[in-house]
Every structure is written in structure tokens, then in C-alpha cells.
């Protein structure tokens, strides 16, 4: 059997290849050379790039077997995500690879600006000993304003708290309780500007954030303010910043990013109270290695049809931590659903109830579809092609969310309608600190059973002796019962036996059970 081919189009950390492991054929090319790239990409399954390789519509058209494009870094300016999505190609990046490096650089810029490191160094190498001129200020017991409490903003806040700083924060998309958890007081932007001795910016660049801190905002700041921007250029108005620094409206600035990059000629560079670096936030050996290893792992997952949390054109980015534990459960529910249905449903609703609906749970719909089709199609089912498989089979899919969940903290249910109008449903939840998976509903019957590798469900008319019959037949077949639930709607009505067993139940035994119970439905599920 031939190995999947992975093309490495730029120089990456050696750890990247180690993380890929021996299961792939590794090839190399110079992705910046267009002719070489288009020839090399024709028969590969995945391509790993950094920033020099342009994976556009032309490259995607040439790549007949391509399944995944992996960018070993955060940005995706060099990858045509829309064209990749239309081609059914997954795009992944490494959104958390540089967060520690970026946070540390922000702190470094803050310290450097507070202590006049750059001009003092320049004076010293020019033969000048100017101790009194470059007297700085301490961070201890000062107030720092964090503008943007994302991953990097949180890391910066945590590190500055170790300096004994008080933290206030501005972020309209964060709840006050979340800010309080990291020891920050959430305030509006005007309050942050008025109270802060130091400000560190950590927002994405969007139409709403461009020019967020301009002349009007800087006029509200303390004259002692040290402003750091290691996020994105343009969030701080550079012209307004220059005027504020030159006039003494604020004290100093530390900058790693600029409105136009590369930037080698700015009025800001003429000021002694500015320390500047050429967008070095991700430029550490550790960040580069993390990026390579992260996308290598994503490629492994993508080519094996598994969930790729950093697939930007599948579920829209990184999955919330509270949602992650529900993904494997939902995929299992999909496989149980298919086993119960015995056919492809015309309509599938993926219902998500409870606290996790505060987050984006679209990935749970994909997990459900992956499970639904995993055992009924020959091709490898992935989070990219699962919706296409549903569409090809005429299955309408809908994600339904509801914050109220009366019986469980969170509940995930897959509900479907078959061609004859029959309704099939299976629901599950996660319980306890360990988040253990439980099946809690099957076709309207309440159950409580662990979704182990081997399950079975028998529907029959409620009457004495049926549980013993099942136990006897399975015992004679040397199948051990790990867990059993019996549920019914009413005495003498329809009942359900739900079983988890230690090994697969032979087909003959299932037929014997069906005959002995006069069961209306017998279904076995293999989740191994």
C-alpha cells in the first residue's frame, strides 16, 4: 500500500518531519519557484508551507489529489481559503504556535520603553555615559491596561501580574466574570485610557479596530503612559502616536507592528522615546518549531479523516475548550444512529442543548455527520467531505441549539426521519469532572449506559423473562455483558434493552435473540 505524499515547500523545523512520522512519503520543493511548485504539487496529498509559497486557485487546480494545505504559522494571506474550500481541500494553520513568543515580546517592549533601553544602549556604544538622562520607571504597583483579552492578552496580563501590576482590560466580547478569573477588571476604553500607566494592545485588525486608539483617545491618557503595540499595525494611529510622543502627551511607546510593512522609514523612528522591532512577535526558535509540529499533527489527523481543530475552513477556527469533549461523543452518537436506522435518513437534526450553546458548536454537526457516514461509505470520511456526502445522498441536515436543558447540563441528540417516516434518535451527555460519555436516550427511551466499543439494542413487547433470555443466549455465545439498561414507556408496552458487551455479538446470536424475544428491532453497534 502506497504512503500518502506530503510536500514540504519551504524550510521548516526538523521537528516537523519527526512529528509527521514514518507513515508518509516526504518530498521537498522550493515553493517560491512557481514552475517547480506546480510540477511538484500534482500528485501530493498534503502541502506544508510558510509565507513564501502561494497556494492559490492555479496551484489547487494543479493538485489533483490534494486533501490538505498546512500553513506553519498564523496568517493565511498566501492561501486562497475560498478556492480550497470549493475544491474540498482542508486548510489548517497553527494559531497558537506563537502566542507565548508574542506575549513575551510585548513584555520586553514594555520594559525596554520604561527603562529607555534602546537610547541608553545607543548612547553607550557612541561613547556617552548618560545615567541621569535615562532614568526610567518601575512596573511594580502600576496599572496596566490590556486592550483585547484574547489568548495573547491573557498571557500578557498573567505575566505582568507577576511584576505586581494591577490589571484593567477592555474587550467588548468578554464577560466581566471571565476577566475576573484572570485577575483583571473589565472597563470601557475611556476608563482604561484614564487609569492606565501602561497599555498593551492585543486585538485583531478589523474594520472596527483600525484607528481604535487615535488622537482623541491619547488625549485622555496619562502623560506617564507607556503604550505597547505588538498585535497588528493600524490599531494605533501612527500619526497621532507620533504627535503624542513628540509633544509629551504620553511618555513612551514600544512597537513591533506597523500600518504598512515592511516599514523601514517612519517618523516614529526618529524619537528617542520609541523602541521598535521589525514584527518579531513570532520570531523565536520555539514558535517556529511549535508551528511546524502543530501543522504536522493536523496533517496526520486530516489524512486519517479525523477532527482537525485548527482547520480554518471546516469549523471556523479553534474549538472552544468546553465544546471539545463533546466531539468524540457526538461522532459515536452518529455511528449509533446509523446502526439504529439501518439506512440513510432523509432528514437529520443535530440538537445541542445546555451551557455549551454559548459557544460555536458547528463542529458538533460535522462530528455527527462523520459518525453517521463512517460505516456506510467506502471512502475515508472527513470533516470536509461529510457535509458533501450528506448532500450527495439527499440528506437535509440542520443544527438546532437550545440553551435550556432540563435533565442534563449539556445534551447532544441526533434525530432523523427515514424514508418511511420512522423517527430515529439517540442522545448522549458527559457526566462528572472526568466528563465520562453516557448514552441517555435511544428512540425515545431513557437509558444510562457507557458507549463502549460493542453495543446492542433490542426493542420488544414488555413481558417477563426477556432479560433472562438475553443473558442466557449471550452467555452461551461466550459474550460477557458489561452493562445493561431496560427501559419502557409503560407496563406491558414497548420496551428497550440496551447493552454494552465486551466483544462483538455473533450474527447467529442476534438472530436467536430476535426470535426468542419476538423483537421488533435488533441492532448491534461496533465502535472499535
Q: Which residues are catalytic?
A: 232, 261, 279
β-strand pairing of 494-501 with 68-71? unpaired
- Other C-beta atoms closer than 10 Å to the C-beta of 105 total 24
DSSP assignment of 405-416: -SSSSEEEEEEE
Measured in whole angstroms, the distance separating CA 83 from the mean position of its chain's CA atoms is 21
> Over the Cα atoms of the chain, what is R_g?
29
- What is the grid cell recorded at 407? 435533565
Residue 66 neighbours by CB under 8 Å, 6+ apart: 41, 44, 45, 46, 47, 60, 87, 89
Residues 6+ apart with CB under 8 A from 124: none
Whose grid coordinates read 507607556? Answer: 226
**CB-based contacts of 181: which residues, under 8 Å, 6+ apart?**
none
- For residue 297, the cross-strand partners are none
Tell me how far the alpha carbon of residue 15 is from its chain's centroid. Answer: 22
For residue 469, give the C-alpha cell.
Answer: 433470555
Strand 423-431 relative to strand 436-442, pairing: antiparallel
Q: Kindly state the DSSP code that residue 428 receives in the 8-state scheme.
A: E
Which three three-digit cell numbers place residue 278?
521589525
Distance CA 91, CA 302 (A): 10
As a dihedral over the C-alpha atoms of residue 61, residue 65, residue 71, residue 77, rounded to 10 degrees, the angle is: 10
Of 427, 447, 437, 426, give the one whose Cα is nearest residue 499: 447
Closest-CA residue to 107 (of 146, 151, 159, 154): 159
CA distance 418 to 92: 35
- Size of the chain, expressed as the number of residues it contains: 528
Amino acid at each position: 500500500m502506497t504512503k500518502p505524499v506530503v510536500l514540504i515547500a519551504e524550510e521548516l523545523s526538523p521537528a516537523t518531519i519527526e512529528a509527521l512520522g514514518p507513515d508518509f512519503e516526504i518530498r521537498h520543493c522550493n515553493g517560491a519557484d512557481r514552475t517547480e511548485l506546480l510540477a511538484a504539487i500534482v500528485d501530493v496529498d498534503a502541502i506544508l508551507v510558510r509565507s513564501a509559497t502561494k497556494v492559490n486557485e492555479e496551484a489547487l487546480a494543479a493538485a489533483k489529489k490534494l486533501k490538505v494545505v498546512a500553513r506553519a504559522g498564523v496568517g493565511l494571506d498566501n492561501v486562497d481559503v475560498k478556492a480550497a474550500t470549493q475544491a474540498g481541500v482542508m486548510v489548517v494553520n497553527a494559531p497558537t504556535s506563537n502566542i507565548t513568543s508574542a506575549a513575551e515580546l510585548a513584555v520586553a517592549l514594555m520594559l525596554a520603553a520604561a527603562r529607555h533601553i534602546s537610547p541608553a544602549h545607543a548612547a553607550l556604544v557612541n561613547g556617552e555615559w548618560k545615567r541621569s538622562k535615562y532614568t526610567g520607571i518601575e512596573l511594580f504597583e502600576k496599572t496596566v491596561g490590556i486592550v483585547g483579552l484574547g489568548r495573547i492578552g491573557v498571557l500578557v496580563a498573567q505575566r505582568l501580574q507577576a511584576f505586581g501590576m494591577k490589571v484593567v482590560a477592555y474587550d467588548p466580547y468578554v464577560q466581566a466574570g471571565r476577566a475576573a478569573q484572570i485577575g483583571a477588571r473589565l472597563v470601557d476604553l475611556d476608563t482604561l485610557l484614564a487609569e492606565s500607566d501602561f497599555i498593551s494592545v492585543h486585538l485583531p485588525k478589523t474594520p472596527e479596530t483600525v484607528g481604535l486608539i487615535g488622537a482623541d483617545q491619547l488625549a485622555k491618557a496619562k502623560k506617564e503612559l507607556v503604550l505597547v503595540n505588538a498585535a497588528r499595525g493600524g490599531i494605533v494611529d501612527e500619526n497621532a502616536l507620533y504627535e503624542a510622543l513628540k509633544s509629551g502627551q504620553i511618555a513612551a511607546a514600544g512597537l513591533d507592528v506597523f500600518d504598512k510593512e515592511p516599514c523601514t522609514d517612519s517618523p516614529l523612528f526618529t524619537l528617542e522615546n520609541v523602541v521598535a522591532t521589525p514584527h518579531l512577535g513570532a520570531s523565536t526558535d520555539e514558535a517556529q518549531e511549535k508551528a511546524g509540529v502543530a501543522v504536522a499533527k493536523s496533517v496526520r489527523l486530516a489524512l486519517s479523516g479525523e477532527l482537525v481543530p485548527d482547520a480554518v475552513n471546516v469549523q471556523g477556527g479553534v474549538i472552544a475548550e468546553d465544546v471539545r469533549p463533546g466531539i468524540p461523543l457526538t461522532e459515536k452518537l452518529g455511528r449509533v444512529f446509523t446502526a439504529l436506522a439501518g439506512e440513510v435518513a432523509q432528514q437529520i437534526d443535530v440538537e445541542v442543548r445546555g451551557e455549551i450553546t454559548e459557544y460555536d458548536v458547528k463542529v458538533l454537526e460535522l462530528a455527527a455527520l462523520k459518525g453517521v457516514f463512517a460505516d456506510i461509505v467506502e471512502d475515508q470520511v472527513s470533516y470536509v467531505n461529510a457535509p458533501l456526502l450528506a448532500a450527495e445522498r439527499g440528506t437535509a441536515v440542520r443544527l438546532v441549539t437550545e440553551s435550556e436543558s432540563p435533565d442534563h447540563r449539556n445534551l447532544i441528540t441526533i434525530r432523523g426521519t427515514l424514508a418511511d417516516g420512522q423517527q430515529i434518535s439517540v442522545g448522549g451527555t458527559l457526566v462528572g469532572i472526568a466528563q465520562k460519555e453516557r448514552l441517555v436516550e435511544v428512540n425515545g427511551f431513557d437509558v444510562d449506559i457507557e458507549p463502549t466499543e460493542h453495543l446492542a439494542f433490542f426493542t420488544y413487547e414488555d413481558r417477563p423473562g426477556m432479560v433472562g433470555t438475553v443473558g442466557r443466549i449471550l452467555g452461551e455465545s461466550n459474550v460477557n455483558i458489561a452493562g445493561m439498561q431496560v427501559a419502557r414507556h409503560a407496563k406491558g408496552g414497548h420496551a428497550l434493552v440496551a447493552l454494552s458487551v465486551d466483544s462483538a455479538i455473533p450474527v447467529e446470536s442476534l438472530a436467536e435473540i430476535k426470535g426468542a424475544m419476538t423483537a421488533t428491532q435488533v441492532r448491534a453497534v461496533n465502535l472499535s
